[in-house]
Amino acid sequence: MPIFKPSSFSRFFIWPSLSLLTLALTPGYAQVFAQADSPIAPNAEITLPLVLEAAKTGQEMSLKDYEGHTLLVDFWASWCGPCRASFPWMNKMQAKYKDENFKVVAINLDVRPELAYAFLEQIPAEFDVLLDEKAELPDAYNVIGMPTSYLIDKEGRLRAQHIGFHDSKLDEYEAGIKALLAE
């Protein structure tokens, strides 16, 4: 059962109604897929600017820099309402599991970084935020809605995906994190 369906990031902007329909019909982390059934996270070597406290740091990072950690990688944009709701929860998960080699990495897809900075001034991130102004990663990850999040295991494999952010699924989202941390 594949969890990563073919799509194009540009479709999200061209056919928003199609993406919103997909978003409405997509479940959260129904399960964490077995490592043997999971692909390696694509383009993990691409470096992106790191943002701290709503400003670029001059430092760049890639997902490879997080090897050995369980990751929640979240693709988001400043205009996304559900993204606003997800940041406090991701802050909570980062704080709760940081001592267990867990990291949240949010990848912003705004074309203009100042939009991400304004968002982060209103809703601070207590985790790493990377800027993908050139949209180098969304096609590789088949991002079709905002936010789209992936759980990546310590060996760099995509183990779960959810599209959107639903308060009713917070226990499922956290259960996915716990399952990977227990491996």
103-136 pLDDT tens trace? 999 999 999 999 999 999 999 999 999 999 999 9
Q: Is residue 16 among the annotated active site residues?
A: no
* Residue 124: DSSP 8-state: -
The answer, yes or no, to whether residue 20 has pLDDT greater than 80, is no
What is the CB-side half-sphere exposure of residue 88 using CA atoms within 13 A? 7
Kindly state the tokens that stand for 85: 């709701």
Reported confidence tier of residue 5, pLDDT bands at 50, 70, 90: very low
Q: Which range is most confident: 6-10, 33-37, 51-55, 77-81?
A: 77-81
Kindly state the tokens that stand for 28: 């959260």
pLDDT at 15: 30
The answer, yes or no, to whether residue 29 has pLDDT greater than 70, is no
Reported confidence tier of residue 34, pLDDT bands at 50, 70, 90: confident
Least confident of 6-20, 83-97, 113-127: 6-20
Chain centre to alpha carbon of residue 142: 12
pLDDT at 116: 95
Q: Which amino acid is at 103?
A: K
The residue annotated as part of the active site, out of 23, 63, 80, 129, is: 80
d(CA 57, CA 65): 16
Q: Is residue 37 among the annotated active site residues?
A: no
The answer, yes or no, to whether residue 37 has pLDDT greater than 70, is yes
The domains found in the chain, sorted by start residue, are 9-28+37-181 (3.40.30.10)
The residue annotated as part of the active site, out of 54, 83, 104, 144, is: 83
The answer, yes or no, to whether residue 22 has pLDDT greater than 50, is no
What is the CB-side half-sphere exposure of residue 98 using CA atoms within 13 A? 10
Higher pLDDT, 108 or 53: 108
Q: Which amino acid is at 54?
A: A
Cα–Cα distances (Å) from 137 to 23, 112, 163, in that order, read 19, 16, 16
